[in-house]
Amino acid sequence: MLLRARAAAPRPAGAGTAYDFFWARNALYHGLRALHLPPGAGVLAPAYHCSAAIDPILHAGARVQYYRIQPDCSADMADIAAQMDATTRALLVIHYFGFPQPVQRLAAFCRDHRLYLIEDCAHVLVGQAEGGPLGSFGDVSVFSWRKLLPIQDGGHLVVNNPALRVDLPPRGNGVLLAAKAVKNALESALEGRPGGRLLAAPLRACALPRAFARAPDALAASSRVERSQGRFDPTLAHLRRSGVSAYVVRRTDVAAIVARRRRNYQALLHRVARLPGVELPFPSLPPGTCPMIFPFVVPGRDDVHTHLRAQGIPAVTWEYVAHPELPLDRFPGAAALYRRLVMLPVHQSLGEAEIAVMAAALERTVRR
Ligand SMILES: Cc1ncc(COP(=O)(O)O)c(C=O)c1O
């Protein structure tokens, strides 16, 4: 990974002006600020989300107007129209797990109601909707390449509306965070390689002292990054993509990753579709879609992911990722997705054997 020849960096969204950030949440924050929303303006956002997509809206001084998501993860157009009011200025749409939302219709709705469209492509590596690539429809669009490429940081902002200007602070990441990014990249490159544990030992030994938490700004960023977990921290909003992340992305065979993820998704689809009681929000893989994970629901069962984890399968749900201010009792559909939508990995490093193990574990679980 670190030694490959340089290739053209992927430009997934087409023609807009692009900016690189440490995380997609930073990209969202700076994209929102470029909209110059009046204080208290409403931004429509889905009730099924992760906090990191909602925090930047609130920190940009706007109010979130939540809308419903259907069981197949598509945006509920009727509820979007119902939630909108005179204060609404923007609509955020999430292409869950890399699968396209009806983005043409959403863009037309925004045009008709003079709203900005924010395309959250945090789960998208590459993708197509009718009329263009995902990320090319929003006035601003964000990506989180770190979720799909072998990098630990890497968010991306694309500004498609030529009237919008992004105002970026001149501050860099600081030398300590840059060093840590290199250390993390080396550690993950060595992981699972013959002799990797031995070679990584000296790297592990230079863990950053906790005292840096109280150190001046540029130093402290490094430890605050570790503590921020899935939340947006406005004091880290200026962080850009690390040099080592840009280096690895330029040496990554994106087309091969897309092909392997698609192959793994299709293989799981083939095995899981015939299991009784399993519902699939995305029962087919549209051309050009690169799946982030394989989602499924077993209606009435909240324990599927814990049973899978007990069998060694890294299955997860979004049970704890909703923003604390979301009034979940008003959104029973989203509440069911948080509890029951289980995500299985389709990572490019997985092969036939691992897919078969996952499918067999799922079969045992649903037949219990
Ligand atoms: C839909 C969505 N948007 C935005 C984000 C934020 O991405 P990042 O972790 O790169 O800030 C996430 C991540 O968890 C996400 O799932």
Which atom of ligand 1 is closest in space to residue 120's alpha carbon?
3
Q: Distance, CA 47 to ligand 1 centroid (Å)?
A: 14
CA-nearest residue, atom 7 of ligand 1? 24
User: Which atom of ligand 1 sits closest to the CA of residue 146?
Assistant: 10
Q: How far is ligand 1, taken at its centre, from the CA of residue 295, in Å? A: 17
Distance 144 CA to ligand 1 centre (A): 7
- Residue 274 has a pLDDT of 87
Pocket test for ligand 1, best of 25, 229, 242 (most atoms within 8 A of CB): 25
Quick: pLDDT tens for 298-351. 999 999 999 999 999 999 999 999 999 999 999 999 999 999 999 999 999 999
Pocket-testing residue among 26, 29, 43, 50, ligand 1, by greatest number of atoms within 8 A of Cβ = 50
Q: Which of 109-113, 164-168, 220-224, 286-290 shows the lowest mean pLDDT across its residues?
A: 220-224
Report residues whose beta carbon is within 6 angstroms of any ligand 1 atom. 23-25, 49-50, 52-53, 94, 120, 122, 144, 146, 155, 230
**Residue tagged 């996952």 (tokens):** 358
Q: CA-CA distance, 31 to 166, in Å (whole number)?
A: 7
CA distance 350 to 206: 31
Rounded Cα–Cα distance for residues 97 and 10 (Å): 19
**For residue range 125-147, what is the model confidence (pLDDT) as tens digits?**
999 998 899 999 999 999 999 89
For the CA of 232, the nearest atom of ligand 1: 11
For residues 262-283, give the mean pLDDT. 95
User: 93 CA to middle of ligand 1, Å?
Assistant: 12
The pLDDT, as a whole number, for residue 166 is 93
Ligand 1 centroid to residue 120 C-alpha, Å: 8
pTM of the model: 0.90
Burial-class residue 194 by CB neighbours within 10 Å (0-12, 13-18, 19+): exposed
Tell me, in angstroms, the distance from the centre of ligand 1 to residue 25's CA: 6
Looking at every residue in the chain, the average pLDDT score rounds to 89
Helix intervals (H) in the chain: 24-34, 51-59, 77-83, 103-112, 175-190, 196-205, 217-228, 243-250, 254-272, 304-310, 332-340, 352-367
CA of 146 relative to ligand 1 center, distance in Å: 10
Atom of ligand 1 nearest to the CA of 26: 11
| Tokens coding 76 | 């509920």
The answer on pLDDT for 222 being more than 70 is no
CB 154 within 8 A of CB 252: no
Q: How far apart are CA 57 and CA 37, in angstroms?
A: 10
What is the pLDDT at residue 223?
65
Distance between CA atoms of residues 144 and 24, nearest Å: 5
Q: Tell me how far the alpha carbon of residue 237 lies from the centroid of ligand 1, in angstroms.
A: 14
Q: Where are the beta strands (DSSP E) in 112-152?
A: 116-121, 128-129, 132-133, 140-144
38 Cβ contact partners less than 8 Å away, ≥ 6 residues apart: 89
**Which residues is 64 bridged to in the sheet?**
43
Look up residue 257 and give its two tokens.
């990753």
**CA–CA gap between residue 333 and residue 170 (Å, rounded):** 43
CA of 22, closest atom in ligand 1: 10
230 CA → ligand 1 middle, Å: 8
Beta carbons within 8 Å of 243's beta carbon, 6+ residues apart: 178, 181
pLDDT in tens, 170-220: 666 666 677 777 777 777 777 777 777 777 777 666 665 554 544 555 555
